[in-house]
Amino acid sequence: MDQKEVLRRVDHTLLAPTATWEQVKAVCDEGRDLGVASVCIPPRYVKKASDYLGNGLKICTVVGFPNGYATPEVKVFEAEDAIRDGADEIDMVINQGLAKEGDWEGVLAEIKAVKESCKGRILKVIIEACNFTYEEKLSLCRVVSMSGADFIKTSTGFAAGGATVEDVRLLREHVSPDVRVKAAGGIRTFEQAQAMLDAGADRIGSSALASLSK
């Protein structure tokens, strides 16, 4: 797969806490020029980016980010607010504490509530794979498969570890066929991105690949 094909599967990402509008605008310009799948930006800038881009590029933003421990009601509000501002895709972080407790019904209910609030937009569910055991990841695959979400996503990029080929392969093997896989966190080269795609990823989250294509 050549670089252009890889970039078509990339969410070009800028989620740094210090991100300014000028930096976000530059990411939007790069994303539009390179034909990426979307730009993934902080909620604060979604409305401004939507007005700037028009229909030229899909906008993704985050909910419950990066720790996931907000209440379901807050996550639903965040998703609804982002969609009103023009977001096309939502990446939400699960409540990791509920998952650690084995409260899979609680995790499922939260994801379903956010999915309903997305009003047909794409929802990606971030499980923060580095924080969970193999068995817990299997349970998360089952929950996400039952939830109606569109993607299961490996990582926020803000935890101790990011995407691994092994995790991508595990997620692909154990989520239902209609759920896609997004690999994110630490993907800084086209070789790494290609390895994730080969392992079963459908989408790549990265802040670095666009600059490498110049």
**Is 91 considered catalytic here?**
yes
Cβ atoms 132, 178 nearer than 8 A: no
**Is 202 considered catalytic here?**
no
CATH number listed for the domain at residues 3-212: 3.20.20.70
Q: Which candidate in 11, 91, 150, 167 is catalytic?
A: 91
For the chain, the average pLDDT equals: 97
**Is 182 considered catalytic here?**
yes
pLDDT band at 214 (very low <50, low <70, confident <90, very high): low
pLDDT of residue 158: 97
What is the C-alpha separation between 141 and 149, in angstroms, rounded? Answer: 11
What is the C-alpha separation between 157 and 165, in angstroms, rounded? Answer: 15
Residue 20 host element (H or E): none
Whole-model pTM above 0.85? yes
pLDDT of residue 213: 78
Q: Which candidate in 58, 124, 137, 153 is catalytic?
A: 153
Boundaries of every domain in the chain? 3-212
**102-161 tens-digit pLDDT:** 999 999 999 999 999 999 999 999 999 999 999 999 999 999 999 999 999 999 999 999
